[in-house]
Structure 1
């Protein structure tokens, strides 16, 4: 009887203390009310340090100070300072499941809660099934029980549940997640955090960040981790916007990567056939160096430039270019085209084609071409000859380049160039001609025949080329005695003549009257005859005689007669001169003089500057280095007419003074 009375008194005291004294919150915070009080359990996790050992009595069971016991599911009692403090905890899954199966009856009793007891997570509501499996974590790693709803439980049976370890949820691939969010299949906007340290870290899990409709477009969305997440506003898989790329033509283009990036209705049919790496604009298709093996059929009336250089194209279908009626420039250089690559009517529909480039292919004959052409390039091929019909109908052609083929005097007809009535530029370099081809058109202004085997310039061969301005015969086998006396004397408009890298022994006579630039370097010239320039009007502007065999006795006092008031550049370097040539003092317009790399040992007075004249010379550059000059013996006034002494280069010399 005495024991029953003591037990009742202890129970009454415990209930009174529990109802009167509010539970102490973590960190000294006051308990919340209303919704916050329901969402967050009110209990103190701070360890209690008693000053003395005490005991509590609950339902006839004695609890030592700090002991914890669960008298009923979802409720835990603890002995503190001789008083009992009870609090609600998340309901274990096993308890909830047993409760549903028993219809609200009490479950089977098990031993009291001990230190090894692990609290099971609460069951989720059905409306939250869209969340990932497993419980979400806070950044500090603790279970996020504050935000989970708690189930009211009336069963009084104590339950001890050991929770099995739950595998973390699998991380969704980023691509599939973005597709689901952008497509609207996910009801929530999920923030995907990057895990840089450890794949098993819980911080790499996806967290809900509010409904997708509530996200501000284009602004970062704050999530519990503190990392901003930008909403997906672009269609999954869409190409990012690109700035226009400026080509040499100055027209804006965009890079093409195999998808329709240019809003052009006519391009939908063929754009998928073009390889990656092409550049497109409203009037240009550029697919250079893309590995293209065949040319697809293109239909686009807006295209004016088609650039297909440096590919592997070996065959062009008959109708491949039929859909480009406004094409003006076609570049097929550096491909694998041969005589069988072109269909008979391939260029028939290209009535506006102006420029065609077929360089670097395997052609042995010129294909049939449209009459609208103004520029044709077939350099670096295997052309075996030119007939009177080769360029038939090309009466608008202005530029023709046939460099590096197999032409010679026997396979080029004198009537080949007759149809080219407007041709002004002809390039026949690097072939096998032994003479200047005949039958050149009257309209021709530039003729390039370098790197051939030309040995002779016959009389009358250039009689009709009265408009010729530039003639390049460099890198041949010309001698002055094989040049007819009147071969080019009548070319009144010729102002540039290049005879470098030949076998000339002296400067040729009967040069064109209007010649302004004469290039004779890398020959065997030993002499500049007197009066050889006397007939010129107004006279040469540049005379290039470097890398020859000139000596001081090979230059007469009247060798430069006719150039006294016109010559501005005289290059005599890398010769065999032993002194400054005579006649230089009379060149009143000379600005650049090169005498370096000779054998000059002395610069006498009045050789370069006339001390008797007080006016300054126009000389701006005088090179005398790499000679045999003793600089101590140069007269003080030898260069007095030159404004700046820095314009005179005297160092180094081949034999420097031993005292310096």
Structure 2
């Protein structure tokens, strides 16, 4: 019986010692208590392994080698090599643990094994500013601070407890945002971010994505929810994460650039009437291609862009835009608007409107517009004429597009453009003009009149457009004898002239002196008159004569006079040339030469490269394919001035099978 009691005592001592083993400190150090504990060496918690066989006799009981027992508190003995070895050990602490089942309640004390018990730290009344993120949510909404053992001299690192958000469902409208506002200034990449509020409302916004801060290394910190949390560090100014918010109707709300300037209740009042698929932000409402049939009354002083393109809107109520005093861009293109769709005072309150797009509707006249406009597009409508009062008051207008309407010489007044004192860009393509309209403003820099029926350019019609830089008269019925001799020679700033797709038989004379790019492809040109470019300063940079009827006798020695030091691009492909044109050798700045798709049969010496000059030519591309050239008969030095052999294209030839 006595032996049984002693054996039980030994087992109880071993179990007690294992449970009372103190937790390790950071760096592997053990806690010490009391003066005696400081003098004693640290207790090694490695399990005892028997080194050699032996037994110890304690109180008449034989103990095996390695047996451990505690004869009294804070003291432990062990049988080693037949001898008893005892030592003092630190008394065990009271274990402190969190009650996970209570949803994150403050840690409770376990029953102590000795008198030296460390109490849990008291609950703080106020949250410290240095630890803003050390909380975890309770089911009842209260927060409890996680207490971890720390050294007094160790700085406390803030730990942000991040609940893993539920991934929102994929939404198609976000992909259509780039298409919906392709003409605007919205960025393409955004990051969802949160301002830290607990409430999920429509105050969410989209912010530009920034670089994520690097995560520190180390082991994850467990929290009561059971998910590991890695301490995060954010660079100064970084924004917290934000989740997208869905309206009660199920539509996503995408927010940009700040907060709304109207109460949520007021904003929700008109959002309920918008169709599904609209994209919203503080400054943007985009409802393109949503099948909208009418425009609801919107009151939001923060909206600056309203995109309603490609819908079925046929009527706009008189007060529909009255609540948008800060609107700057309105797009109503591709709807069903006509002359009766606009109320007289519809745009009266839009004093900041800068851009208006009415393309693709059924308008027969221009509606009354605000004087603040800087860009107006009414392409692809049914406008029947322009009067002196059509653009009255639009003195700030810079861009005007009236392409594809029903304008002709009889329904456009010469006084139409007089109010447009700042107009820079005018597009009148695809109408029915037979002559260049008169009365164009002096400020005009770019004029597009392609796809009309223009047959004549009268003298003096462009006298006032002294600032004109680009003139496009392509796809008309122009002949060189119907262009007045001094129609445009006085345009000292004109650098681009497009006369392609006309009926010209030779290069027109009296070209503007400062012209840099002349486009004449797809005409009936048979000749380049001599000295036709001689008056130009500094001379053409590009001359495009492809798809004409040029023959070798139509290009003389002085045809390119005036372009010797300026011309870098000469395109003569798809003509009827039987040999390399004369005068090309004098073009010292030429970089690209196209002679392909002609009837050239031979490349003589000193036709493209001057063998008498040792300097390399600036030519970087020479095209001679699809001719009648026998490559075996080309002189070895015909292309010696060209740096790269691959710059010369000779294959295929139309009769290449003869020598292949």
- TM tier, shorter chain? 0.5 to 0.7
Structure 1 window deviating more from structure 2 (132-141 vs 565-574): it is 132-141
The structural deviation recorded for 1:634 is: 0.4
Q: CA distance change for structure 1 residues 392 and 37 in 2, over 3 Å: closer, same or farther?
A: same
* Distance (whole Å) between structure 1 residues aligned to residue 544 and residue 158 of structure 2: 113
Q: 2: distance between equivalents of 1:11 and 1:351? A: 92
Change (3 A) 1:627 1:199: same
The answer (yes or no) to whether the contact 1:91–1:150 under 8 Å persists in 2 is no
After superposition, give the CA deviation of every residue in 1:313-335 in whole Å (9 maximum; x if it has no partner). 11000000000101110000000
Query: Which range moved further: 412-421 or 73-82?
Result: 73-82
How many Å apart are 1:273 and its aligned residue? 1.0
**CA-to-partner distance for each residue in 1:211-256, whole Å, 9 max, x for gaps?**
9999999999999999999999999999999878999999998189
Q: Distance in 1 between matches of 2:157 and 2:22?
A: 25
Comparing 310-319 and 40-49, the one that deviates more: 40-49
CA distance in 2, matches of 1:562, 1:178: 48
Kept after mapping to 2: 8 A contact 1:14/1:84 = no
User: SS where residue 14 of structure 2 aligns?
Assistant: helix
Match in the other structure for 1:409: 409
Bigger Cα displacement from structure 2, 230-239 vs 587-596 = 230-239
Gaps of 5+ in 2: none
Pair 330,226 (structure 1): closer, same or farther in 2 beyond 3 Å: closer
CA displacement 1:580-630 (0-9 Å, x = unmatched): 000000000000000000000000010000010011100000000000000
Give the whole-Å Cα distance in 1 for the aligned partners of 2:57 and 2:161: 24
Asked whether the equivalents of residues 521 and 546 of structure 1 are also in contact (C-alpha less than 8 Å), the reply is yes
Check conservation: 2:301, 2:323, Cα contact below 8 A: yes
1:487-522 CA-to-partner distances (Å, cap 9, x unmatched) read: 001000000000000000000000000000000000
* CA-CA distance at 1:119 after TM superposition: 53
Report SS of the residue matched to 2:98: helix
Tell me the distance in 2 between the aligned counterparts of 1:524 and 1:181.
Answer: 43
Deviation (angstroms), 1:268: 2.2
Query: Are the structure 2 counterparts of residues 222 and 595 from structure 1 closer, same or farther at C-alpha, using a change threshold of 3 Å?
Result: same
Give CA deviations for 1:337-357 in whole Å, capped at 9, x if unaligned.
Answer: 000000000000000000000
User: Deviations 1:418-437 (Å, cap 9, x if unpaired)?
Assistant: 10011010000000000000
Question: Is the CA contact 1:113–1:159 (under 8 Å) kept in the aligned structure 2?
Answer: no
Give the conservation status (yes or no) of the 8 Å contact 1:473–1:498.
yes
Question: CA shift at 1:150, angstroms?
Answer: 48
The answer (yes or no) to whether the contact 2:431–2:451 under 8 Å persists in 1 is yes
Task: Give the deviation of 1:60 after TM superposition.
Answer: 56
**Contact 2:376 2:399 (8 Å CA) reproduced:** yes
- TM-score for both structures, normalised by structure 1: 0.63
- Bigger shift: residues 73-82 or 325-334: 73-82
Cα distance change, pair 576–30 in 1 and its aligned pair in 2 (3 A): closer
SS of the aligned residue for 1:632 comes to: helix
Deviations 1:156-212 (A, max 9, x none): 999999999999999999999999999999999999999999999999999999999
Distance in 2 (alpha carbons) for counterparts of 1:195 and 1:5: 67
| Counterpart-to-counterpart distance in 2, 1:637 and 1:188 | 55
Greater CA deviation, 154-163 or 96-105? 154-163
**209-218 vs 533-542, which moves further:** 209-218
- The question of whether the paired residues in 1 share the 8 Å contact of 2:134 and 2:146 is answered with no
Q: Which residue in 2 is equivalent to 1:306?
A: 306
1:467 paired with 2:467, answer: yes
Q: 1:70/1:321 Cα in 2 relative to 1: closer, same or farther (>3 Å)?
A: same
Q: 1:344 to 1:649 in 2, by over 3 A?
A: same
Cα deviations by residue, 1:350-370 (Å, 9 ceiling, x for unpaired):
000000000000000000000
In the alignment, structure 1 residue 85 sits paired with structure 2 residue 88: no
- Residues 531-586 of structure 1 show CA distances to partners (whole Å, capped at 9, x for unaligned) of 00000000000000000000000001000000000000000000000000000000
Could you say which residue in structure 2 is the equivalent of 1:524?
524
Distance 1:159 1:92, change over 3 A: farther
Question: Are the structure 2 counterparts of residues 647 and 436 from structure 1 closer, same or farther at C-alpha, using a change threshold of 3 Å?
Answer: same
What does the per-residue CA deviation read over 1:383-416, in whole Å, with 9 as the maximum and x for residues that have no partner?
0000000000001100000000000000000000
After TM superposition, give the deviation of residue 267 of structure 1 in Å: 1.4
* Paired residues of 1:472 and 1:497 also in contact (CA < 8 A): yes
Match of 2:608 in 1: 608
Q: Say if 1:388 and 1:424 are closer, same or farther in 2 by CA, change over 3 A.
A: same
Report what 1:127 is aligned to. Answer: 127
Query: Does the CA-based 8 Å contact 2:259-2:282 persist in structure 1?
Result: no
1:210 and 1:585 map into 2 onto residues whose CA distance is 57
> 2 CA distance for matches of 1:462 and 1:612?
47
Aligned residues of 1:171 and 1:206 also touching (Cα < 8 A): no
Secondary structure of 1:160's aligned partner:
coil
Q: 1:380 and 1:258, CA in 2 relative to 1: closer, same or farther beyond 3 A?
A: farther
Q: Distance in 2 between matches of 1:495 and 1:41?
A: 94
Distance in 1, Cα, partners of 2:89 & 2:478: 109
Largest Rg, 1 or 2: 1
Q: Shift of residue 279 of structure 1? A: 1.3
Query: What do the CA deviations read for 1:425-453 (whole angstroms, capped 9, x no partner)?
Result: 00000000000000000110000000000
Paired residues of 1:539 and 1:566 also in contact (CA < 8 A): yes
Structure 1 unaligned regions, length at least 5 = none
Are the counterparts in 2 of residues 454 and 476 from structure 1 also a CA contact under 8 Å? yes
Deviates more, 1:303-312 or 1:191-200: 191-200
| Conservation of the 8 A alpha-carbon contact between 1:134 and 1:168 | no
Q: CA deviation at 1:272?
A: 0.9
Contact 1:92 1:120 in 2 (8 A): no
Deviation of residue 280 (structure 1)? 1.5
Moved more, 96-105 or 557-566: 96-105
Cα distance, 1:349–1:12 mapped onto 2, change above 3 Å: closer
- Mapped contact 1:141–1:202 kept (Cα < 8 A): no
Partners of 1:352 and 1:294 in 2: how far apart? 23
CA distance in 1, matches of 2:593, 2:364: 48
CA distance in 2, matches of 1:160, 1:567: 67
**CA shift for structure 1 position 658:** 2.9
Classify the secondary structure of the residue corresponding to 1:128: coil
- Give the CA RMSD over aligned residues: 14.9
Q: Report if aligned partners of 1:579, 1:601 keep a CA contact under 8 Å in 2.
A: yes
Change (3 A) 1:65 1:372: closer
User: What is the CA–CA distance in structure 1 between the aligned matches of 2:142 and 2:174, rounded to whole Å?
Assistant: 26
Contact in 2 for aligned 1:566/1:589 (Cα 8 Å): yes
Q: Which sits farther off after the overlay, 614-623 or 137-146?
A: 137-146
Q: Secondary structure at the match of 2:497?
A: strand
Q: Number of paired residues?
A: 660
Which 10-residue stretch deviates more, 258-267 or 85-94? Answer: 85-94
Q: Which segment drifts farther, 118-127 or 646-655?
A: 118-127
Asked if the contact 2:376–2:401 (Cα under 8 Å) also holds between the matched residues in 1, the reply is yes
1:659 is displaced (CA, Å) by: 3.9
CA separation of 1:563 and 1:409: change in aligned 2, threshold 3 A:
same
- Does the 8 Å contact 2:498/2:520 carry over to 1? yes
